Amino acid sequence: MTSQNDSAPSREEAASRRDFVTAVTAVAAASAAAATGSAQAQAGMNVRHSNPSGMTQPTAYSQVVEVNGPHRLVFVAGQTGVDASGKAAKEFRAQAVQAFENIKTALASVGGSMENVVRLVTYLTDIEQNADVYREVRASFFANKGALPASTLLQITRLANPSYLIEVDATAILPPRA
């Protein structure tokens, strides 16, 4: 989990946040399962997979998965600092900005925005060097400081391509489609 201050959360705070994120994830999964289960007669029309224009067009996964039920759950695949042409930005800040721009593009493709994001999971290859810049970039994409998404920040040894320094995946909740 990320924090805007330098003090580490107490074990009780960390457990409480972890419990909250676990509960939100369980509710979201249950809602998706309920929506999917009740929609089986509709031949799975409540789940839509897409690769929006303005983003790379992968063949092995979907950039966006939208579940339409009482609410639409939108899962955005991990976004890196790669533009629509597949070119990775050179330095960390530019990669972080591009990753969030990609998330904005993905959400816009289903009628959403950054205000709809309820959860982020971010992977960095060097937290010590890049966490402060990441937090600054992340904050610039969320105007409503009273409704920030749950956020997990992890360090990993490497991403799918050695030139990638960051990957961010997002979950958003939108109103149902009319």
* Confidence category of residue 82, pLDDT binned at 50, 70, 90: very high
Domains located in the chain, CATH noted: 11-174 (3.30.1330.40)
Provide the b/e sequence for 125-154 (b: ≥16 CB within 10 Å).
bebeebeebbbebbeebbeeeeeebbbebe
Measured CA to CA, the distance from residue 143 to residue 115 in angstroms comes to: 8
The CA–CA distances, whole Å, from 166 to 15, 116, 159, 176 equal 26, 22, 8, 31
Q: What is the pLDDT of residues 107-142, one digit of tens each?
A: 999 999 999 999 999 999 999 999 999 999 999 999
Query: Which has the closest alpha carbon to 103: 143, 154, 145, 141?
Result: 141
pTM of the shown model: 0.69
